[in-house]
Amino acid sequence: MATAVVLGGCGLDPVSPNPPEQLIIQALLQPGHPIDNIRLTRTMPPESYYAGIPQALVSGATVVLYHESRTDTLAEIAPGIYGDPTIMARSGVTYRVEVTFEDFVLRAETTIPEKLEFTSVTAVSGSQYIPSADTLIFPREYADPDQFPPQGNIPAKPVTIYWDSVPGATGYEFAAIAVDTTGPEFLRKDAYEDWLSGDYATAKSREWTRMTKYPAFPGYTETDVLWAAFNYRGDHDIVVRARDRNYNDFAQTVSGTSSGNDYDTGTVMYVEGGIGLFGSFSSDTLRIHVIAEWLPSENL
C-alpha cells in the first residue's frame, strides 16, 4: 500500500507564525486481513521541510481501537507502527481509532465495505491477441513505436470486468499489478531502452511501472482492462477495490489540491484532531498472463 499525504505549500510566509505540529495517521483496513499496520507520524516545523528531514515517527502513543463490543489497546509492533495481528478486519463493521500522544488526541473511523466479487469477465472473441480472458498477447504495434499506427485489427478493450454494487462503497478503483518486475522484460521498446541506459536498475525505480491504477467511472460497476495497463511480460494481478468514503474522497482529492483552480478545496481527510487517512476497502482479483508478440529484450 502506498499512501501520500499533502502537508506543505510552495513557500513560507515570514509574517505568519509557524503552523502547529499535527499527528498524521495512515491506515487502510481490508476484510480478512489483520489490523497490524496503523502508521503514526507527526509533522515537522516548516523550516525542516526544506532541509529534507522526513516526517517524524511517533513512538509511545496510546492507540485504542473500538469495534463492535470490543475495545483493544494496540501494541507498537515497530517504530511508529501499531496494531494487533490477531484482530482480523471484517466487512460491514465500523472501526473507530483514538490516538493519544503528548497533547495530541486524534480520532477517526471507517466502516469496511461489504465484499466485492466479480460477477463476470468477458473478452473479445475471435482475436489472435486474446486467446482467453486470462491470457493476452501484447501486440507488437503497441510495443514498438515504429509500428504505429495500429492496423485496426487490435481490440481497444480486450477484457471487461463486471461486479455488483457493494454496500458501503463510495467508489471503485482498478489496478493492474505486475507480479515479477526483476528482469528486463519490458513490453515497450522505449521502456527497455531506458533500462539499457541504466534506468529501473532498482526495485524502487521500477515501482511506477509495476502498477497501473485508475478509478472506475462514478456509478459504474464495470471496468475495461486496457492494453495500457500492462508494462511487463508475465503475470499481472487485476484488482478492483471498493473504497469507503474516507479512502475514496482522499484519493480523489489528494492529487488535485495545488492546481490553483478556484474549485480546489484541499485534500479531504476525515480525521479529527490530526490529518491523514484512516479508511478501508474490499477487493477481488483476477490473474492475467501477458505474452509478448514482440519483446524488445529479445529483438534489440
Judge whether 279 lies within some domain: no
Q: Note the pTM of the prediction, 2 decimals.
A: 0.85
The phi, psi pair for 11, rounded to 5°, reads: -155, 175
1 belongs to a structural domain = no
**68 Ramachandran zone, left/alpha/beta (phi>0; psi -120 to 50):** left
Among 82, 112, 142, give the residue marking a domain's end. Answer: 112
Where among 60, 86, 112 does a domain terminate? 112
Note whether 195 and 176 are same-domain residues: yes
- Number of domains into which the chain is organized: 2
What pairs with residue 74 in β-bridges?
Answer: 63
Going by pLDDT thresholds of 50, 70 and 90, the confidence category of residue 7 is very low
- At 107, the pLDDT band (50, 70, 90 cuts) reads very high
- Tell me the per-residue pLDDT of 214-243, one tens digit each, with 9 for 90 and over: 999 888 999 999 999 999 999 999 999 999
Q: Indicate whether 125 and 103 sit together in one domain.
A: no
Please check whether residues 146 and 288 belong to one and the same domain. Answer: yes
Does 186 score more than 50 pLDDT?
yes
Do 157 and 64 belong to one domain? no
Long-range contacts of 253-261 (CB under 8 A, 24+ apart): 254/4, 254/5, 254/6, 255/4, 257/6, 258/6, 258/10
What pLDDT was estimated at residue 255?
66
The domain of 188 spans 118-243+284-299
Number of H helices, E strands in the chain: 6, 16
What amino acid occupies position 143? A
Could you tell me if 144 and 185 lie in one domain? yes
Q: Note whether 167 and 106 are same-domain residues.
A: no
Clarify whether residues 81 and 167 are in a common domain. no
Same domain, 183 and 293: yes
- For residues 220 and 143, membership in a common domain is answered with yes
Do 231 and 139 sit in the same domain of this protein? yes
Q: For residues 180 and 66, state if they share a domain.
A: no
* Mean of per-residue pLDDT scores for the chain: 88
Same domain for 31 and 146?
Answer: no
Assigned domain for 253 exists: no
Asked if residue 248 is part of any domain, the answer here is no
- Per-residue model confidence as pLDDT tens digits over 164-183: 999 999 999 999 999 999 88
